[in-house]
Amino acid sequence: MQSTTANNNIDYKLVFYTAPKLFLLLKPNSPEYTILDANDAYLNATLTKRFEIMNKSLFDVFPDNPSDLKANGVSNLRRSLNKVIEKKTPDSMPTQKYDIQVNTESGIIFEERYWDVSNTPVLNEKNEILYIVHTAEDVTSTFKLENKLKTISNEIEEKSYLLKENEERINAILNALLKYTTMDFSDKLKITDKGDELDAIVVGLNSLIEELENQIQLLKLSNDELEYANNELDSFSYSISHDLRAPLRAINGYSQVLMEDYGHQLDEAGKNTINVIVKNAIKMAALIDDLLTFSRIGKQGLTKIALNMNNMVKTIVNELKNQAHANTLEFIINPLEEAQGDNSMLKQVITNLLSNAIKYSSKKEKSIIEIGSFKKNTMLIFYVKDNGAGFDMKYYNKLFGVFQRLHSDYEFEGTGVGLALVQRIIKKHQGEVWAEAEAEKGATFYFSLPIKN
């Protein structure tokens, strides 16, 4: 080592002074630790001048910040230095807060600084400590950054806790909302003392609920009115059924009396006139009956059950077969799907469609009537097909109207209520009715019912 130093003429003092790292050379004289020298980088970093610090005790030059009650720079540094002397090995300190003095216009103040410090003994051949090399790195900005990161991550943790808490509150609101959709308002939402957006939502919701409850109350009132009107209608149709029928009976009965008591005085034209009166009175009675059924179906509630349509159709076909017919009847009854619906109402539908099929095919030599069913998407579709008079599709829009007829009474008798009734019943079942026909080539009537209610 001696030889290398001797031979190359290197200016070690200059190297030491201009080295980019921070160096301070100390005398190993505990407890003073006199400063022997420092390089330029060190002086710059600590805002000191060489002449100010040379030959002074380290701790006189760099005291603790008196306003920082937790300051431990002096004691930690001293401990490290003592350790170096004792063990004769280098010692590194964990990042240490050690504020430095700054001269300002308003006097000396301390500036916050963080340092990574290591102390290294310089030993001679006899293993005696000549100096202690104190190096330091100003890590203030890194440390502050780390601290900031730590603060941020703490804040994130705190925020995520708040978020979780808010999530629970939102869930409570959603659950309450879900309950409200079933008109159950027993869960009133509570307002926290936070006064945040969620509280604002809760306040809004609560006033909405209140408004809703008011509206429901109003609805109930108008519902009562409706019920009253319905009852009125009920007694109205009751009166119709009783009061309109009585005069018809009189017209009919006394026409008959006229015929029996005075028939012998009348010629054929006179007798025919009486028959027309009787026939029309009976027709009007049928109209009243159909109309009453029609209005009753509108008010009636549905009792949906699983219906064996095969049995229902067989029963109805047998009843219809037993009535008098102008021609021969042939029924083609395909196996039918089970339907969900109101028994008596669907019976009425099947009866009306089959009676129509019989009626409108009565002028053919032989009536061929087919009934069947099939599934399409979510609907179950039934059809009744005949080979009868059919109708022109350009009058289709009148087919299902009340008192609307596509044939004259002279051709086929009827009140014009049957298909309107069919449509009303099927609509009540959330189904549809439609038809396909061609004049003189028969008609097919379809109705659909939802497969599951």
Partner 1 sequence: MQNTIHNIEIVLVEDSLEDANLVIRSLKKHNISNSIIHLKDGAEALDFIFAEGEYTSRKIEDKPKLILLDLKMPKVDGLEVLRAIKTDPRTKTIPIVIMTSSREDRDLLESYELGVNSYVVKPVSFENFAQAVAELGMYWLMVNQSPR
The residues that touch partner 1, with contacts defined as CB under 8 A, are 238, 241-243, 245-246, 248-250, 252-257, 278, 281-282, 285, 289, 292
Q: How far is the CB of 285 from partner 1 (least distance, A)?
A: 4
Cα(185)–Cα(438) distance, integer angstroms: 57
Q: How far is the CB of 223 from partner 1 (least distance, A)?
A: 22
Q: How far is the CB of 197 from partner 1 (least distance, A)?
A: 58
Nearer to partner 1, 126 or 242 (CB): 242
Q: How far is the CB of 178 from partner 1 (least distance, A)?
A: 42
Q: 76: part of which helix (H) or strand (E)?
A: helix 73-87
Q: How far is the CB of 240 from partner 1 (least distance, A)?
A: 10
Contact 336, 309 (CB under 8 A): yes
Nearer to partner 1, 234 or 440 (CB): 234
Residue closest to 37 by CA, chosen among 18, 51, 20, 19:
51
Nearer to partner 1, 1 or 246 (CB): 246
Q: Which residue has the tokens 């019912």?
A: 449
Q: How far is the CB of 398 from partner 1 (least distance, A)?
A: 28
Nearer to partner 1, 48 or 241 (CB): 241
Cα(29)–Cα(33) distance, integer angstroms: 5
Nearer to partner 1, 161 or 254 (CB): 254
Going through 343-405 in order, the beta strands assigned E by DSSP cover 366-376, 379-385
Nearer to partner 1, 228 or 238 (CB): 238
Q: How far is the CB of 410 from partner 1 (least distance, A)?
A: 21
DSSP string, 191-209: P-TT-SHHHHHHHHHHHHH
Q: Which residue has the tokens 């980088």?
A: 41
Q: Are strands 328-333 and 366-376 parallel, antiparallel or unpaired?
A: parallel
Q: How far is the CB of 253 from partner 1 (least distance, A)?
A: 4
Q: How far is the CB of 236 from partner 1 (least distance, A)?
A: 12
C-alpha distances out from residue 331 to 314, 361, 384, Å: 10, 12, 10
Nearer to partner 1, 65 or 348 (CB): 348
Q: Which class for 5: exposed (0-12), middle (13-18), buried (19 or more C-beta within 10 A)?
A: exposed
C-alpha distances out from residue 411 to 46, 189, 303, 359, 403, Å: 120, 70, 38, 10, 16
Residue closest to 205 by CA, chosen among 222, 185, 231, 224:
185
Nearer to partner 1, 252 or 373 (CB): 252
Nearer to partner 1, 173 or 278 (CB): 278
Collect all residues with Cβ–Cβ distance below 8 Å to 61 and sequence separation of at least 6.
35, 48, 52, 53
First to last CA, the chain: 102
Q: How far is the CB of 234 from partner 1 (least distance, A)?
A: 9
C-alpha distances out from residue 216 to 173, 204, 206, 227, Å: 21, 18, 15, 16
In which region does residue 150 sit, left (phi positive, over 0), alpha (psi from -120 to 50) or beta (all else)? Answer: alpha
Nearer to partner 1, 281 or 313 (CB): 281
Q: Which parts of 300-417 fold into alpha helices (H)? A: 309-321, 343-360
Find out whether the peptide bond into 31 is cis, omega within 30 degrees of 0. yes
